[in-house]
Each structure stands twice: as structure tokens, then as C-alpha cells.
Amino acid sequence: MRALVMAGVAGLLTLTLAPPAAATSGVPEQWSAGPFTAQVAVMAGDVDGDGKDDLVSYNTYLYGCYVLRSNGSAFQPQQNWGAGNFLSSGFNGNANFVGDMDNDGRADAVAVRRPTTSTPRGIFVARSIVDYYGVERFGTPKQWLDNTIAGDYGNLAADLDGDGDTDIIGLFDVATLAARSEGGTTLPLVAWAPPIRGQKATLAADATGDGKADLILVDAGGTRVVPGSANRWFDPPVSWSAVPFHGSKKTLTADIDADGDADLIAVNDTDVQVMRSTGSGYSAPEVWYAGSFSGTKETLTADVDGDGDADLVAVNTGDVWVLRSQ
């Protein structure tokens, strides 16, 4: 904060200039040094419903999903949350997500699978539960959708219709399909958008801040957004930025400044940059962290300290680091 003292007609006028909105991260903090069994994938979500995002790993047959629970300033030692005895493959898929599929406040584990000769296709959900013995774990995976939703160009997970549960999007050559969650099952597939994708990344998040996920197309020379509307994602994409902006390591979207809309994050080899959403466009890129911050296993966004803004998480083989937004 700066105080300016100016001489005016009415005598001394003191103006206090508010600082610009926080434009930095903190410094990297080591949140875990213990083992974290993560063979197939790592995702983040609040599995125990305490407001702080946790990490979930997907593994091969009989290993189960391991969870690193956040206590707000560190991850506790890993816990096996089960679901490993699933098909002949273990609980994992072509795409793996953590999201609250049934809107009970606890994020669930999701596997989106293509069929194999011995395993079925579709969406499989292992709900986060507190069992009869008071143990928090994932329940037995259930097939919520028996159809082809594992996309040629991958899958996204977001709340498409703003009803509070997580929906699944499949990116295909000929269409963009939605598998919307409805309590304990998935509604029949519907076309949600034309088969459009970004040149550098295709993301889904609520960039406009109305509660419904938008489609974010990160191109080489700029970024386009299709706001979610009554027309699903069939409205023409709108240019939100004409500045090239994508990460050399990863491009992510999450609400990094806690103002209710999802911002764009570029994780580069030498720094982390952010373009904030204004709700109808992206502001100019800002250096968020002037150093390298990424994980050898995974780099993701999650509100691990539960203060409302998304933090960055770097998962390595032997440790996990967090770069908190502030």
C-alpha cells in the first residue's frame, strides 16, 4: 500500500492507493516426503469433504487408489482407499478424474474406459463413502454408463449444467459428447458441441463465473471460449485473447484468484504465468512465479489449503510440492 500526500485547494489531501490485486504466488513448499503409490495417474479433489483438496492416485490391479489427504498445510501419509479389485485391470481408465459425481460434497473417483476383449466400456464411479465401520474410503466401483464416451481426443470433466455434480465430456472426430451425471447414474449421451478443439489445449471450466462450465480452446496464437448456454456449446467460439499463451510443460485452467471465474495458467520450463479471466475475456499475461515449478509425475491445480483459490501441485516420485496462491 502507498500513501500519497497531495496539496489541494482544501488543504492536504491524503489518497491511499490500493495495491494491484495479488499477482504472485508464495514460494514452493514441500507438502509430502513419504511414499505415494501412483502407477497410472494422479488427480485432485476433496474426497473427504473438508474443503481442502486431496490427491488421489490410480493404480493397477489390486493396488487400489491411494489418497494423500490435505490438512491445510501438508499432506498426511498416504491411505489406501481401495477399489483395486476392479475388473481385471485395477481401477483406472483411458481417462481418470476426481469429481463429486453425486453431489454429496465428497469427491468420487471416476474411470472412463474403452472396451477391451475382457472389460466393458463406459463410466465407472467409485463413490467416496464413510463405511459401516466409520472408515473413509472408495466404495465398490459401479458402471454409471455403458456406452462409448472415451474420446478419440480424450475426455474432460466439469459441471456442464450447473447442478453441482461433475459431468464427463468426450472429444471425438465427429462430435463432442456429454455424459451428464444425475445423482447415481449417467443420463444418455447427448451432443454438446461441434467437434472443435484448441491447437494447443482443449479445457473445460467455468471461465465466465455463471456456474456452468465453458469450453476453452487454447490455440497457438490466442485463446477462444465457448460460453455454456441454453445452446450448450454450439454458439460460435469467442476470442478472449489474441496473445499466444500456453505452457511449454502444461496449460491448466482454475480460479487462481478466487473471484469466481476460472483463469488460464501456463506452466513453463522457467516460470509460471497466468491470464486472469474477467468473465468475458482474459487480461494480459502475468508472471505468477518466476521459477520452474512442475512435477515429474504430474502438475495440477487444486485448492489444497482450502482458502478458495487454486494452488499448484507438483507430484514427483518421492515428494509433493505446493505453490500456494495468495
Summarize as ranges the residues that interact with Ca ion (CB under 5 A): 46, 48, 50, 52, 54, 100, 102, 104, 106, 108, 255, 257, 259, 261, 263, 303, 305, 307, 309, 311
Closest distance of CB 192 from Ca ion, Å: 22
Contact 21, 275 (CB under 8 A): no
Closest distance of CB 275 from Ca ion, Å: 10
Q: 167 vs 303, which CB is nearer to Ca ion?
A: 303
Closest distance of CB 223 from Ca ion, Å: 14
Virtual torsion, Cα 89, 90, 95, 96, nearest 10 deg: 180
Closest distance of CB 215 from Ca ion, Å: 17
Show Cβ contacts of residue 20 under 8 Å, excluding neighbours closer than 6 positions.
none
d(CA 222, CA 239): 8
Residue 199 C-alpha cell reads as: 491447437
Closest distance of CB 309 from Ca ion, Å: 4
Q: 25 vs 92, which CB is nearer to Ca ion?
A: 25
From 214, 168, 174, 213, select the one nearest 196 (Cα to Cα).
174
Q: 176 vs 261, which CB is nearer to Ca ion?
A: 261
Closest distance of CB 133 from Ca ion, Å: 19
Q: 176 vs 273, which CB is nearer to Ca ion?
A: 273
Angle at alpha carbon of residue 85, lines to 157 and 150, rounded to 5°: 30
Closest distance of CB 256 from Ca ion, Å: 6
Q: 171 vs 179, which CB is nearer to Ca ion?
A: 179
Q: 161 vs 309, which CB is nearer to Ca ion?
A: 309
* Biggest alpha carbon–alpha carbon distance for the chain: 85
Residue 21 to residues 1, 276, 307, Cα–Cα distance (Å): 11, 11, 16
Closest distance of CB 109 from Ca ion, Å: 10
Q: 106 vs 137, which CB is nearer to Ca ion?
A: 106
Q: 144 vs 171, which CB is nearer to Ca ion?
A: 144
Q: 50 vs 235, which CB is nearer to Ca ion?
A: 50
Closest distance of CB 10 from Ca ion, Å: 39
